[in-house]
Amino acid sequence: MNFDIIRAGRVIFHVKDLDRSKAFYDALGFIETERNEHHLYLRGLEEHNHHSICLKKSDDPVVEVISYKVADDQHLDSLASFFESKGQPITWKEAGEQKALGRTLRTTDPSGLTLEFYADMESVDIMLQRYDLYKGGKVQRIDHFNCMIPDVESAYNFYINELGFRCSEYTATEDEKIWAAWLHRKPSVHDVAFMNGLGPRLHHVGFWLRDPMSLIDCCDVLAALNYGPHIERGPGRHGLSNAFFLYLRDPDGHRVELYNGDYLTSDPDFKPKRWDLDDPKRATFWGHEAPDSWFEEASLFLDLDGLKNVNVSEPLLEKKKPTFVI
């Protein structure tokens, strides 16, 4: 079945202090679209929709949802019927119930991730040629989600066979169990990646930069503003995806990746690249060894009712920190 899911669309992060969060995301180069007492809406310079990050004031810094954009409203009904047929709970938010959004479907996937699908979001001015507003990393657009889950192979099968995603790259164990997978709907390396680990948890949200120098510029700006300790990993280059990367922790611990350098995956005869779990160039083609926090820490999800955090469980496959090269 084709649900015409277009791309990763937005994330809702719960944060404790909107002013503190705004200062940090300003330093990265996001545009503030709108703000009220309890919400801050941010977007990248080339984004034409109202926001790709919603920061929501809360005492508990969790992830409310990760959201995918679909082609039109009828696909929301098809998705609702599909998830109900799989025994997954659903809930609707009507147009106007959330700022700038039309009707949205919320549900959970079999891994326990809290998902949202939407077709309509208010349009805003694209700031791509407002060079006077360029700052920090000059963030262009949202690119992908990366989630830690206990059973990657099951998620791989569900998203490819049921939701119509395609695989660009994957990591396999010696006995060909899928340890991690990079899946896409738009013609790039991924809209969502799944990694073996304690979950379901959100490892990071990735945002696209226009060039590698923008990433270096962001490091300079962060250091000048005393955000140096928020740099968790990088700069470096992944073997997987070929991405030039920088990982940051926001003031509430949510992880953001600034990202450039992947490649086109649109051809129907494109074949996924397999990586061996022990390949030292898989996660880091070059760069410093990742800290333990990068492998162990991630953001919890809020459940569909918004009442408690989603329970997590240990992965089916052995957790393993790869060896890196400089």
Please say whether the beta carbons of 182 and 189 come within 8 A.
yes
Read off the tokens for 137: 């990393």
Assess whether pLDDT exceeds 80 at residue 264: yes
Please say whether the beta carbons of 42 and 181 come within 8 A.
no
Are 151 and 294 contained in the same domain?
A: yes
Does 33 map to a domain?
yes
Please compute the mean of the pLDDT values over residues 240-262 and round it to a whole number.
95
> What pLDDT is attached to residue 321?
64
Does 23 map to a domain?
yes
> What pLDDT is attached to residue 287?
87
Are 150 and 280 contained in the same domain?
A: yes
Are 145 and 79 contained in the same domain?
A: no
Provide the 10 A C-beta neighbour count for residue 278.
Answer: 12
Give the pLDDT band (50/70/90) at residue 1: low
Assess whether pLDDT exceeds 70 at residue 196: yes
Does 80 map to a domain?
yes
What is d(CA 195, CA 92) in angstroms, rounded to the nearest whole number?
A: 29
Domain with 159, as residue range(s), is 137-300
Are 27 and 109 contained in the same domain?
A: yes
> What pLDDT is attached to residue 281?
77
Does 108 map to a domain?
yes
Are 156 and 28 contained in the same domain?
A: no
Nearest to 88 by CA among 117, 106, 108: 108
- The string of pLDDT tens digits covering residues 21-43 is 999 999 999 999 999 999 999 99
Are 167 and 58 contained in the same domain?
A: no
> What pLDDT is attached to residue 320?
64
- Secondary structure of 188-248 as H, E, C letters: CCCCEEEEECCECEEEEEEEECCCHHHHHHHHHHHHHCCCHHHEEEEEEECCHHHCEEEEE
Write down the mean pLDDT value for the chain.
95
Please say whether the beta carbons of 207 and 257 come within 8 A.
yes
Please compute the mean of the pLDDT values over residues 13-27 and round it to a whole number.
98
Does 127 map to a domain?
no
Please compute the mean of the pLDDT values over residues 43-51 and round it to a whole number.
98
Residue given tokens 């333990």 in the structure block: 292
Nearest to 29 by CA among 289, 267, 204, 216: 216
Write the CB contacts of 278 (distance below 8 Å, at least 6 apart in sequence): 322, 323
> What pLDDT is attached to residue 50?
98
Are 27 and 147 contained in the same domain?
A: no
Give the pLDDT band (50/70/90) at residue 254: very high
Are 156 and 290 contained in the same domain?
A: yes
Q: What is this structure's pTM? A: 0.96
> What pLDDT is attached to residue 279?
82
Are 214 and 285 contained in the same domain?
A: yes
Read off the tokens for 34: 């709108």
Report residue 141: phi and psi, to 5°. -165, 160
Are 147 and 283 contained in the same domain?
A: yes
Q: Of 41-50, 68-77, 267-276, 315-324, which range is least confident? A: 315-324
Read off the tokens for 318: 């052995």
Residue given tokens 């929501």 in the structure block: 56
What is d(CA 84, CA 196) in angstroms, rounded to the nearest whole number?
A: 26
Assess whether pLDDT exceeds 90 at residue 285: no
Does 325 map to a domain?
no
Does 40 map to a domain?
yes
Please compute the mean of the pLDDT values over residues 112-128 and round it to a whole number.
98
- Higher-pLDDT residue of 245, 321: 245
**CATH number of the structural domain spanning residue 80:** 3.10.180.10
> What pLDDT is attached to residue 306?
93
> What pLDDT is attached to residue 283?
76
In the chain, which ranges are continuous DSSP H helix?
18-28, 74-85, 152-161, 212-224, 292-296
> What pLDDT is attached to residue 324?
41
In percent, the amount of the chain with pLDDT more than 90 equals 90
Where among 118, 153, 173 does a domain terminate?
Answer: 118
Tally the domains of the chain: 2
> What pLDDT is attached to residue 86?
97
Assess whether pLDDT exceeds 90 at residue 286: no
DSSP secondary structure letter of residue 75? H
Are 183 and 280 contained in the same domain?
A: yes
Does 28 map to a domain?
yes
Are 46 and 190 contained in the same domain?
A: no
